Amino acid sequence: MIDLHTHTIYSDGELIPAELTRRAAVAGYRAIGITDHGDLSNLDLIIPRIVKVADDLGRGWGLTVLPGIELTHIPPAMIADAAVEARRLGARIVIVHGETIAEPVAPGTNKAALEADIDILAHPGLITPEEVARAAERGILLEITTRKGHSLTNGHVARMALAHGAKLTVNTDSHSPGDLTPLPMARLIAMGAGLSDEQFEQCLRNAEELVKRVL
């Protein structure tokens, strides 16, 4: 499993980075992104701390650990600047908290995110065909999520991505130990969203390509 969307105690997760990555390694993960919730008020508090430990934890547990951030509930006009700042601070994975139907994310977030320097648009909700086409043009991955609530629109996201040529990835958005999802369950969730087994394998390849690109 390659899971590029997880959280620690540096936002609303339950685990410190060492325990999260240890549990991920035991669960068979090959790579994990630590992407706590951030905005322009706390990027400098979160990202350097994950950058500091990521490589050592990866070597210690035998998996790739990528420091990142999930830009969350940021006014759309501020997303591009926040992404630039996240990169400056060392984030290798930049995610934007998309327009999930489970939370009051500001309209226009998906559109603004897809024009910014990001890697993944997380749980993008009822994303439009135009937005999906833009994701395809820019090579931004759209997320199929295993997380409750956000997963309600997985089927829509999958259909739109397949129709418009956008790349997908499967992430857990883990906040607690029980959220870490073994590969067989991630496969079933993807198939429940309408993906074939081969399309799920392509999701894994998309994630692996992203990891290689940012290392």
| Average pLDDT of the residues in 68-80 | 98
Rg of the chain over Cα atoms, rounded to whole angstroms, equals: 15
Report yes or no: 70 and 36 within 8 Å, Cβ to Cβ: yes
What's the chain's average pLDDT?
98
Q: Residue 56: how many CB atoms within 10 A of its CB?
A: 12
What is the CATH code for 2-214?
3.20.20.140
The pTM of the full predicted model, rounded to 2 decimals, is 0.98
Question: Which pLDDT belongs to residue 6?
Answer: 98
Domain coordinates in residue numbering, the chain? 2-214
pLDDT band at 157 (very low <50, low <70, confident <90, very high): very high
Angle between helices 183-192 and 197-214 (to 10 degrees): 120
Residue whose token pair is 């420091």: 67
